[in-house]
């Protein structure tokens, strides 16, 4: 990590791109996904633009809302 903030790390970038692709593949807009999650649509935009990190619980809920396996997302972080 060498002193970089994880919100702008390569790993977070890969994860955010994966989450965005999953959202698009499932046919969700930012607004429709935010309705499923019960969050403002700006929350989705901030996650996808790497302006906001997800904690573990938020990540799992995000994946559940997208009906994807969180382990698949974690592989984006672990395997470059």
pLDDT tens-digit map of 18-32: 999 999 999 999 999
Tell me if 21 is assigned to some domain.
yes
The confidence band for 59, taking pLDDT boundaries of 50, 70 and 90, is very high
- Here the CATH number for the domain that contains residue 62 is 1.10.260.40
Burial 48-80 (b: 16+ CB within 10 A, else e): bebeebbeeeebebbbebbebeeeebbebeeee
Side-chain half-sphere exposure of 65, counting CA atoms within 13 A: 24
Tell me if 18 is assigned to some domain.
yes
Rounded to 10°, the helix 41-48/30-37 angle is: 110
The confidence band for 79, taking pLDDT boundaries of 50, 70 and 90, is confident
Please tell me which residue, 37 or 2, carries the higher pLDDT value: 37
Tell me if 35 is assigned to some domain.
yes
Tell me if 2 is assigned to some domain.
no
Question: What range does the domain containing 69 cover?
Answer: 8-78
Number of structural domains found in the chain: 1
pLDDT at residue 10 above 50? yes
Tell me if 49 is assigned to some domain.
yes
Distance CA 35, CA 24 (A): 15
User: What integer pLDDT is reported at residue 8 of this predicted model?
Assistant: 79
């Amino acid at each position: 990590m060498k002193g970089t903030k994880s919100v702008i790390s390569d790993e977070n970038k890969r994860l955010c791109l994966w989450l965005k692709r999953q959202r698009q593949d499932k046919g969700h807009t930012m607004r429709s996904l935010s309705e499923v999650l019960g969050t403002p649509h700006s929350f989705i935009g901030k996650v996808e633009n790497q302006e906001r990190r997800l904690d573990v619980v938020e990540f799992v809920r995000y994946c559940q809302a997208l009906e994807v396996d969180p382990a698949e997302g974690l592989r984006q972080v672990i395997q470059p």
